[in-house]
A = this chain, B = another copy of it.
Amino acid sequence: MAKFDWRSKGSVSVAKGFLASGIHCGIKKRKMDASLIYSETPCVSAAVFTTNKAKAWPVLYSMKAIKGKTHKAILCNSGNANCFNGAIGQKTVKESVKKLASQLKIKEKEILVCSTGVIGRTFPWPKFQRGIPKLVNQLSRAGDQDAALGILTTDKLTKELSIEFLFNGKKVRLGAIAKGAGMVHPNMATMLCFITTDLSIKKTLLQSALKEAVSKTFNRIAIDNDMSTNDTVFILSNGLAKNKTIQNKGPEYLKFVEILIEFCKEVSLKLVEDGEGVTRVCDVVVEKAATEKGAEIFARQVANSMLVKTMLTGADPNWGRVIGALGATKQNIHWDKLEIYFDKNLIFSLGKGIDKHLSLVRKTLKKKHFQLRIVLNQGNAKVSFLTSDLTSKYVRINSAYTT
């Protein structure tokens, strides 16, 4: 597996032909609130959107736009979700796209859009409109850090990642920026992730690769139990790496899927680490399950249990809460075969607790990152699901979000 560069070599503008920018246009009081990603040549593209029935205007727009053959730009604002704010919200998406197309001298249908922020607020279109030429003027290879800043809401840190790997002897680059913070359940998050690559690949294959990667990474993280109206993952692929175009699901495709999964897993970890009020990340690993589907149901239930999350907060090895969450799925378990570990330390076996490793377990629970391993001994399937502790800080942040 290729090695990842975290922030060291940039993000969405490392792949050939990509530029980026980020600015403050006035949707937020002071912080950056608008970003643009642009490819000098046409890209094939793919996307995964929120499955929430309540969808923001830019999501509804991009769900149609993504069906186009090629794209050249992603436009995003933060600070306003442009969601459930009346028909004017829909109009402002169209106006933004029109304005950007004229500034970039590209077609409207080559543009994808995103928003993130508070639901239900009137979209400050004049401010955003004035920001668009500035975004275009500032496009550069060095603009990716600004772009990473422009999409944040309650995130403390930017999420930027890039990787290089070889495909038929050609150097291929993959870069991403993302935002997360809360509302990360059950599918994706209040999360945006924009991935760019110079790989050459057929559009349908790019879509299936992205879908598989998202299902195994962004759809397996839990900060709270809410699902956003704006979640979007985009990937743009301009082919400038000049590798032999991936045309079928052969070894080249499988290699790309593997890389994309590892890449998205790394982004997911950064999202959970920077989740609202998060101090600890726990990797809930369900092992030796009968099926992957069943393993995921168990992992999701444990990862989203408020009592498990507060157990992590208190660094308290109260495994009874894990048992309670497993049982709540209504799936069959052989309780006598079940083993529970924190990292390598066995805490539950043969239907009851194991006290002898308790001091080691308490040490493990105080680490910033550890595994809660649930070994079912029923088969060979394995699923990993990232969760976080639930802290008073989460409550403080979310009880004062709009006021």
Chain A residues engaging chain B, CB cutoff 8 angstroms:
51-55, 81, 83-87, 118-120, 182-183, 186, 224-229, 304-307, 310-311, 313-314, 316, 318-321, 323-333, 335, 348, 350-353, 390-392, 394-396, 398-403
Taken together as a complex, chains A and B put the C-alpha atoms of A183 and B316 apart, in Å, by 17
Q: How far is the CB of A298 from chain B (nearest CB, A)?
A: 11
Overall SS of chain A's interface: loop
CA–CA, A352 to B54, complex, Å?
A: 12
Contact of A54 among B53, B310, B335, B401 (CB under 8 A): B335
User: How many copies of this protein are present in the complex?
Assistant: 2
Q: Is the CB of A320 within 8 A of B118?
A: yes
Contact yes or no, B399 A395, CB < 8 A: no
Given A52-B324, A226-B325, A227-B324, 15 other A-B residues pairs in contact with their CB atoms under 8 A: A53-B328, A54-B326, A55-B327, A83-B323, A84-B348, A118-B318, A118-B320, A119-B319, A120-B318, A120-B353, A226-B306, A306-B306, A314-B398, A316-B403, A392-B392
- Knowing A83-B320, A318-B401, A352-B86, say if A53 contacts B327 (CB, 8 Å): yes
Q: Which residue of the partner chain B has the closest CB to A313?
A: B399
Which residues of chain B have C-beta atoms less than 8 A from A323's C-beta? 54, 83-84, 119-120, 229
**Residue of A186, A226, A316, A333 with highest tally of chain B CB at under 10 A:** A226
Complex formed: what's the CA distance from A228 to B323 in Å?
Answer: 10
